[in-house]
Amino acid sequence: MKWYIHCIKNYTNFSGRARRSEYWMFLLFNILIVITLFVMAEFINEITGSESSFIFVGIYMLFVIIPHLAVVVRRLHDINKSGLYWFVRIIPLIGPIWLLVLLVEDSSAGNNKYGPNPKQRINEDAIDLIGKE
Residues of the chain with pLDDT under 70: 121-133
Query: What pLDDT, on a 0 to 100 scale, did the predictor assign at position 112?
Result: 85
Query: Helix, strand, coil proportions of the chain in percent (round to 5)?
Result: 70, 0, 25
**3-state DSSP call for residue 115?**
strand
Question: Which own/partner pairs from 60-65 qualify as long-range (CB within 8 Å, at least 24 positions apart)?
Answer: 60/33, 60/34, 61/34, 64/8, 64/30
Is residue 102 a contact partner of residue 81, using CB atoms and an 8 Å limit? yes
Query: What pLDDT, on a 0 to 100 scale, did the predictor assign at position 133?
Result: 46
Query: What pLDDT, on a 0 to 100 scale, did the predictor assign at position 121?
Result: 59
Query: What pLDDT, on a 0 to 100 scale, did the predictor assign at position 39?
Result: 93
- In this prediction the pTM is 0.80
